[in-house]
């Protein structure tokens, strides 16, 4: 998160000498959909170290991971001209947690926590509708760097065949963490309504055509927020 905020600050510092009048900032809510369940390594119980003489192979888990993430969206941009701007964006999701009991013979319960954080740089095209002077259509192309942090926790049954080893039977917690780092092309489109010269409302939808490493399906983000121009 510190690296993302530092990059956003550097973006403002580099562009600020040009013209303060063309700068804008904004904040709002982002909604991202990633099919996390597609990754094989996230859908199995990791090899648990069971007490001898039992050993166990990986067991497949049911759908456990959240695919939808809500979070805070922050943007800062500079309008090069009326139809073109460059923009930096930051997204940080609220931590999504999922906990369930399973019917798998070796797993009593399974829990997952996922955090999503991203930083993006985009070039935006603005097309102002002549009949509605305050309304503009937007199209964007850019790069997104995203970090997905995943924590898995399982309550695993530990069973032994040695009857006199009473300390062997019971449950043990197995914890596993995985981080995914992706740099991808991002495309977007949206609508902006200018309430006044300084205040605007915007909604955008952005897609990542090549997907992230944590999912095979088509990830997308929908955001809505408020902009303020200096």
Q: Write the CATH number for 65.
A: 2.40.160.20
pLDDT (tens digit, 9 = 90+) per residue, 111-151?
A: 778 889 999 999 999 998 877 778 999 999 999 999 988 88
Mean residue pLDDT of the chain comes to 77
What are 168's two structure tokens? 């062997």
- Nearest in space to 56 (alpha carbons), one of 173, 152, 164, 156: 156
Q: Identify the three-state secondary structure at position 145.
A: strand
Predicted pLDDT of residue 12: 42
| Residue 133 CA: distances (Å) to CA of 81, 136, 202 | 16, 8, 15
Q: Is the pLDDT of residue 19 over 60?
A: no
With a pLDDT cut of 70, the percent of the chain lying above it is 65
Predicted pLDDT of residue 6: 46
Q: At 100, is the pLDDT very low, low, confident or very high (cuts 50, 70, 90)?
A: low
The answer to whether residues 22 and 79 touch, using CB atoms and an 8 Å cutoff, is yes
Predicted pLDDT of residue 170: 65
3-class secondary structure for 93-104?
ECCEEEEEECCC
Domain that holds residue 75: 2-229
User: Running DSSP on this structure, what letter comes out for residue 20?
Assistant: G
Distance CA 120, CA 127 (A): 22
Distance CA 57, CA 46 (A): 9
The total of structural domains in the chain comes to 1
The answer to whether residues 93 and 71 touch, using CB atoms and an 8 Å cutoff, is yes
Predicted pLDDT of residue 87: 96
pLDDT (tens digit, 9 = 90+) per residue, 51-93?
A: 444 444 455 555 566 688 899 999 999 999 888 999 999 999 9
Q: At 13, is the pLDDT very low, low, confident or very high (cuts 50, 70, 90)?
A: very low
Most confident segment among 1-5, 31-35, 194-198: 194-198
Q: At residue 186, what are phi and psi to the nearest 5 degrees?
A: -135, 135
Q: How many Cα neighbours within 13 Å face the side chain of 94?
A: 9
With a pLDDT cut of 90, the percent of the chain lying above it is 40
CB within 8 Å of 21: residues ≥ 6 apart? 230
């Amino acid at each position: 998160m510190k690296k993302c905020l530092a990059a956003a600050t550097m973006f403002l510092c580099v562009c600020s000498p040009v013209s303060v009048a063309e700068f804008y900032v904004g904040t709002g809510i982002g909604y991202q959909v990633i099919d996390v369940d597609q990754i094989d390594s996230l859908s199995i119980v990791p090899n648990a170290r069971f007490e001898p003489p039992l050993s166990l192979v990986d067991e497949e888990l049911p759908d456990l991971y959240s695919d939808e993430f809500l979070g805070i969206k922050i943007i800062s941009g500079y309008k090069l001209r009326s139809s073109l701007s460059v923009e930096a964006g930051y997204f940080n999701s609220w931590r999504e947690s999922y906990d369930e009991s399973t019917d798998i013979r070796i797993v009593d319960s399974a829990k997952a926590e996922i955090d999503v954080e991203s930083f993006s740089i985009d070039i935006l095209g603005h097309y102002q509708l002549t009949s509605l002077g305050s309304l503009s259509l937007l199209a964007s192309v850019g790069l997104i760097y995203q970090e997905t942090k995943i924590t898995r926790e399982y309550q695993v049954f530990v069973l032994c065949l040695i009857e006199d080893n009473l300390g062997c039977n019971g449950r043990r917690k197995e914890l596993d963490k995985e981080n995914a780092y992706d740099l991808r092309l991002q495309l977007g489109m949206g609508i902006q309504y200018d309430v006044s010269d300084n205040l605007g409302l915007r909604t955008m939808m952005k897609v990542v055509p090549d997907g992230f490493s944590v999912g095979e399906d088509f990830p997308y983000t929908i955001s809505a927020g408020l902009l303020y121009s200096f």
